[in-house]
Amino acid sequence: MPEATGAAVRAATATGTATHCPYCALQCAMTLTPEAAAESGPARLSVTPREFPTNRGGLCQKGWTSAQLLDSPERLTTPLVRDTKGAPLREASWDEALDLVAGRFRVLREERGADSVAVFGSGGLTNEKAYALGKFARVALGTSQIDYNGRFCMSSAAAAGNKAFGLDRGLPFPVTDLDDSEAVVLVGANPAETMPPLMGHFDPARLIVVDPRRTATAQAALDGGGLHLQPAPGTDLALALGLLHVALVEGHLDTLHRVAYRAERTVGWEDVRQCAARWWPERTERLTGVAAADLRRAAAALARARRAHILTGRGAEQHSKGVDTVSAWIDLALALGLPGTPGSGYGCLTGQGNGQGGREHGQKADQLPGYRHIEDPAAREHIAGIWGVAPESLPAAGRSAWELLDALGTPEGPAALLVMGSNPAVSAPRVRRAVERLRALDLLVVADFLRSETAELADVVLPVTMWAEESGTMTNLEGRVLRRRAAQAPPPGVRTDLEVLHGLAVRLGRSAHEFPADPAPVFDELRRASAGGTADYAGAAPELLDAGEAVYWPVRDTTGGSVREATGGPERDATGGGAEALGSPRLFLDRFAHPDGRARFLPVEHREAAELPDAEHPLYATTGRQLQHYQSGAQTRRVPELLAAAPGPYVEVHPDTARRAGLADGDTARIVSRRGAVLARTRCVPSLRPDTVFLPFHFPGGGAANALTNPALDPVSRMPEFKLSAVRLERADGGGVMSPEEAV
């Protein structure tokens, strides 16, 4: 650790370190304070929530226990190397490990070309690491083969937002704007389990939850007098069209404000109006299963609210038609005049901790920093100038995440892969195929702090720092740029991801100054690289971030004009402390980001999912998260308290459906799709649709829900269809014990 960084850590831990939770994009504020040192080792950090606009002094169970992993006995502290395929991993020095990786990368590039080496990143990396990883791929490796797990998370909403508004920011308004909303439609989102502190911003009586399951969020709405619309999986698009039809024919769109809004601020309404005209309530009911009376009630509640919001989540996005589905909900929001109207709006609930910043700075296959497109000549020239390379040396767009994983180890695909911050051996669709491709690589390199399921497959494992041991910036779901501060030094032998990239880049022939190991110069370069782009961080100077956490992108360079664009002055609710917000906490108040300043209605039509239930696979399966676990579970499954509360895979089934399969509550079921089978404990849930089963996706091996999921891709976003696969239920043999052959 550099001396300056070490001094900062020592100063911070003397009084406690203000930072943010390592998990979801709500980025709840917390303080880490060292407890009394134990005789056997260093002090453990205790977690205390901080007052902050997103979490208001609250944390979920994951946040409260987040520091427990820092001294986990399963922590990686030494590089591991596998001498030959099938041999066990053994300890190695850093020089040996990095020399091996760089040497193998160099040989593969010489023999098979630059695209023989690929990179897979993460929406959990800091902005600095995401930026450096994209630069490393394109400059040090020269490969086009880079993508990240955020492709599985928010890519459909990002594509739809860019089409409609000309800009993709999860929430184009502060979370606190939801406090006064008189109607909030949550589509395919379950914040009561995935982002519990967010629930404090909702009035349950004003919630309209769209979900095939009666989730904890849907139950909160029902208990408080709100609504739960329970469509069949894969029919959210038709439901949005049905709601728009009701709003249209019942006169809710005829107010002077809404007529003027559509005329002055949008284009394309007539085409969308014609699409909606075909989705009368009874037709919508036949397809979705949502009663026509509930459609009318929901449309009226939304239309009569003076302040209203429509928020989409993964349930709307993770489909082979996810972009069109999100576009349909945006069309409804535009018809009602919500986006860009103070106190109202459309937004997407970003999932991963840096899901917003992670997709802005170059680790997507088609993207350069600042949310620039890699095929844009002007973008290439700007970034090449920052990086000191020729524009023509930058590769073109590469494969998207699933396409990249599916090509690994094939004659036409990459032979080596560097994975940083991701666990595709659990999180990828059709996961057993993904594991096969990972095993087929000549070289798999994983940088991680625990032996994840992907690390167990690796030829080289590089131990890296955890969140409380590193500094950097994160961007939360509001587009607010936040400080991640180091609270303690990492264990001896552990390096940061930036140090790993620095060490590899130098060994590959790049100069040391091109890939700094210190996050400060990386962020400075990121700011310059993003300047003028859609996601402009140029004005996010470190002193402004240190002065208060009220900096939102886009924030232009202060030397080129005011950074207070689009704010109109102090933003008390946005900052939580009376400070003046910098950048744009509320976007689109005057104009949208298209050149003409107008939003685009996008006519879309319902179409069937990539696969539907049939006689052999008569049920819909859908997947999601549960309260105690996060993403692939590689971290949360190692926290005893969380694992005790949620110890393993389960399948939610309607009691009648379970009975027909010969299953009772607690039995082990085999769930079979066209791609494989998993085992899970049966949970009989009377509120579930009889045609639907649900599985959490946090577990590996024989209980890996993603062994069932379909990698059919959205044609625009390249998002796989996680949320719908056709399955059947069977009673498992073996007395409920998962057999070895069922394991990955």
Distances (CA, A) of 692 to 653, 657, 708: 7, 9, 14
- Say what the pLDDT of residue 580 is: 52
| 90: Cα within 13 Å, side-chain hemisphere | 8
- Say what the pLDDT of residue 578 is: 35
- Say what the pLDDT of residue 584 is: 86
What SS3 class is residue 417? strand
Give the C-alpha separation, 368 to 379, whole Å: 7
Nearest residue to 313 via CA among 167, 192, 183: 192
Helices (H), 401-456: 401-407, 424-427, 431-439
DSSP string, 590-645: S--SSTTS-EE---------SS---SSS-EEEEEE--TT--TT-TTGGGSHHHHHH
- Say what the pLDDT of residue 3 is: 35
**pTM over 0.85, yes/no:** yes
Residues counted in the chain: 744
Give the C-alpha separation, 308 to 551, whole Å: 25
β-strand pairing of 551-552 with 650-653: unpaired
What SS3 class is residue 443? strand
β-strand pairing of 308-312 with 345-348: parallel
Tokens read off for 453? 């399921």
Query: Splitting the chain (744 residues) into consecutive groups of 10 residues, what average pLDDT does each group show?
Result: 39 73 95 76 86 95 94 95 95 98 98 98 96 98 97 93 96 96 97 96 97 97 98 97 98 96 98 96 97 98 97 95 98 98 95 90 95 96 98 97 98 98 96 97 97 97 97 96 95 97 98 97 97 95 86 81 35 38 88 97 96 96 94 92 95 97 96 97 97 96 95 96 97 55 36
- Say what the pLDDT of residue 564 is: 36
| 240: Cα within 13 Å, side-chain hemisphere | 34
460-463 sheet: strands from edge to edge: 89-91, 80-82, 460-463, 443-448, 416-420, 117-121, 146-148
152 contacts 122 by C-beta, under 8 angstroms: no
Distances (CA, A) of 158 to 169, 217, 347, 362: 8, 24, 10, 15
Which amino acid is present at 437?
A: R
Q: To the nearest 10°, report the CA torsion of 335, 314, 446, 353.
A: 70
Give the C-alpha separation, 502 to 512, whole Å: 7
β-strand pairing of 146-148 with 117-121: parallel
Which residue shows structure tokens 């100054």?
Answer: 513
Q: Where are the beta strands (DSSP E) in 467-541?
A: 472-475, 480-484
- Say what the pLDDT of residue 224 is: 97
Q: Which helix (H) or strand (E) holds 294?
A: helix 292-304
Give the C-alpha separation, 139 to 529, whole Å: 14
Which residue shows structure tokens 């996050």?
Answer: 519
Nearest residue to 179 via CA among 486, 590, 501, 573: 573
Give the C-alpha separation, 76 to 78, whole Å: 6
- In order of their start, the domains of the chain are 3-71 (2.20.25.90), 80-149+354-519 (3.40.50.740), 155-349 (3.40.228.10), 536-600 (no CATH), 619-742 (2.40.40.20)
* β partners of residue 480: 552
